[in-house]
A = this chain, B = another copy of it.
Amino acid sequence: MENSTSEPQPLLALVDALKRLPGVGVRTARRMAYHLLQHDLQAAQQLGQALTNAVERLQHCEQCNGFTEVPICATCLHPERDKTLLCIVETPADQNSIEATHGYTGLYYVLMGRLAPLEGTGPDELDFDRVLARAADGIVQEVILATNFTAEGETTAHYLSEALRTRGIKVTRLARGVPAGSEIEYVDAGTVAWALMERKPT
């Protein structure tokens, strides 16, 4: 008797798709698929719609590179923000942490990553030409580097600092009040606020 495959195609396709999530192997993908189909069909539908919706509606802001539903995001268009200050962060979550201090009224640029040569993420992948052009618009007076205080974040800050200073742009880095080795997203707002006030020229 030939061996019958007991799993239908839509289930196999779902496991394959879940496996493409970062950090998810076949075992975890199977557990997720069984869980959704057996215990939480509503979550499966919600996630399916959220994915389709996000892919269709989100784009990168032409100015800050953050995720937005319109060509230029509300933060960049805000009339009261200080256009002479540009804060460079790795992710939207880091931007949220800076906003949560209520101590910063300038603009942002979101790298959507950090230099990681071992993973093949270099200045081209992060589109550093665009970052430098943004900082050199003639209005920005100071670039604040707020990449993470991890090895890769520091490397990214160092690289950007050199490139920006070569172009005659003033560059500062968040003060080292942020504990070394930690990620900005998980630091309390008070510490981030202090580091922002005490920022030093690089």
State the A residues within 8 Å of B (CB): 1, 3-11, 13-14, 16-18, 20-23, 28, 30-38, 40-41, 43-55, 57-58, 66-69, 73-75, 78, 80-81, 91-93, 95-96, 99-100, 102, 105, 108, 112-113
Copies of the polypeptide in the assembly: 2
The answer on a CB contact under 8 Å between A10 and B102 is no
Specify which chain B residues have a CB less than 8 angstroms from the CB of A17 in the assembled complex. 43, 46-47, 49-51
Docked-complex contact A54 and B14, CB < 8 angstroms: yes
B54 touches A37 (CB 8 A): yes
Asked whether A41 lies within 8 Å of B55 as measured between CB atoms, the reply is yes
Tell me whether A6 and B73 are in contact in the complex, defined as CB-CB below 8 angstroms, given that A22-B31, A38-B113 are known contacts. Answer: yes
Q: What would 11 A/B residue contacts be, using CB atoms closer than 8 Å?
A: A1-B105, A6-B95, A7-B92, A10-B54, A13-B53, A14-B50, A14-B54, A16-B50, A22-B31, A47-B51, A51-B51
CB contact under 8 A between A96 and B6, given known A31-B22, A43-B17:
yes
Query: Is A91's CB under 8 angstroms from B34's CB?
Result: yes
Query: In the complex, what residues of B have CB within 8 A of residue A16's CB?
Result: 46, 50
Across the interface, which residues of B come within 8 angstroms of A74, CB to CB?
4
Q: How far is the CA of A49 from the CA of B104 in the complex (A)?
A: 41
| A43 CB to nearest chain B CB (Å) | 4
- With known contacts A10-B54, A58-B11, A47–B32 Cβ distance under 8 A: no
A80 and B127 CA atoms in complex are apart in Å by 61
